[in-house]
A = this chain, B = another copy of it.
Amino acid sequence: MSVRVAVIGAGVMGADHARILAKDVPAAQLQVICDASEARAIDLGETLGAKHVLTDPMAALSRDDVDAVLIASPDDTHAALSIAALQAGKHVLCEKPLAPTYADCLRVIEAEIRLGERRVHVGFMRRFDPAYTAMKTALNDGLIGRPLMMHNFHRNVSAPDWFTGQMAISNSAPHEFDIGRFMLCSDYVSITVAQSASGRTIAPVFMTLETADGQLVNIEVNNNAAYGYDVRGELVGEAGSIDLGAPKHATYNVSLQSAQRFDEDWRPRFSDAYRLQNRAWIDGIANGTPDPRLATAWDGLCSTLVAEAGVIALEAGSKQAIKTPAKPALYEQKRQEFPREEPAE
């Protein structure tokens, strides 16, 4: 049976999600495209053959012919739409962040606890990336012993003018906050932030986080790296380390150089991750068994909590403690074992 999905937001992210659901996930039925811009909604809806096109998200998510809602609208609408979708009895995949503030994240958590069921997932798609999957699998296999440290590098070609060092922390780094926590299975207890000085660019930000298990997680966010979209990662354990790959399809030997190409943005690099995440979400709804890799609302809250501490740490120039509240029972459900997957599927 198909899962009928309403996609809220037809911008870059929403269009990508809708295309994946239509073209790569046979179990999904693209039921509604909803965007504040009717023209944009119609355009995308026609391209992908969506059944309905709407401009009112509340109307979209409460329809009887909709089973699940994919939220890709502006960040500050995420919490309210998630809560409304929950109240309408729908499943939710919300683009990150769950909400820009801890307070709003908490409201979603409270709504879910009232419902008594985990129906909201957050789009931390790196959990499904074949490279991070290979890293996690090797860690679980004991290849490198106990993990001690994780290094993360997040580089974009260029940031918009209005981007700031704070946004590097609140907007870019959450992917790393989440994947570090997912990989190490430990919450963060502190964050320290340094920023390099740069006259004419948004300067790189460098963070050092400590986990409750005494591990270090280092994160560089360099939104103006200029040379390419480049995400790197390394997990260091007592017996060895695992370097994240970034699949390259060819090497070009010309002009006294042997070169591999960088992507210009995140989409080619993480296309498998989005595809596999969205399929896992839909299949979990169809099966009644959510994929244990999907980020929960609680994971979303934890990520925003760290981002808020990071912004303060940048301003203060000193280490900032992170106090994660006790995890509600709803989120304590034992995770199923991490599935072993073949790299490309």
Contact = CB atoms under 8 A, between A and B. Distances in A.
Contacts of A214: 196-198, 203
A206 interface: yes
Nearest to A319: B318
Interface string A26-52: 101000000000000000000000000
Interface string A182-211: 000000000010111110110110101010
Q: Which of A151, A239, A251: most chain B CB closer than 10 A?
A: A251
A345 interface: yes
Interface string A50-89: 0000000000000000000000000000000000000000
A110 to B, nearest CB: 34
A36 to B, nearest CB: 28
Contact of A342 (B151, B157, B243, B268): B268
25 contacts: A131-B250, A134-B250, A144-B252, A149-B204, A192-B192, A194-B210, A196-B214, A197-B215, A198-B214, A206-B216, A225-B236, A228-B253, A230-B253, A240-B252, A240-B253, A244-B249, A245-B248, A245-B249, A247-B344, A257-B261, A258-B262, A259-B259, A259-B260, A268-B343, A317-B319
Contacts of A279: 23
A106 interface: no
B216 A240 contact: no
8 tightest CB-CB pairs across the interface, nearest first?
A: A197-B214, A247-B247, A240-B254, A134-B250, A227-B240, A259-B259, A134-B249, A131-B249
A271 interface: yes
A82 to B, nearest CB: 27
Contact of A240 (B133, B200, B226): B226
A180 to B, nearest CB: 13
A228 B242 contact: no
A268 B247 CA distance: 13
Contact of A198 (B131, B146, B241, B243): B146
A287 interface: no
A278 interface: no
A326 interface: no
A224 interface: yes
Contacts of A319: 317-318
A248 B230 CA distance: 15
A178 interface: no
Contact of A197 (B28, B130, B213, B269): B213
A231 interface: no
Nearest to A272: B344
Nearest to A283: B23
Given A216-B206, A245-B249, A256-B261, A238 B149 contact: no
B22 A250 contact: no
Contact of A268 (B215, B268, B269, B344): B344
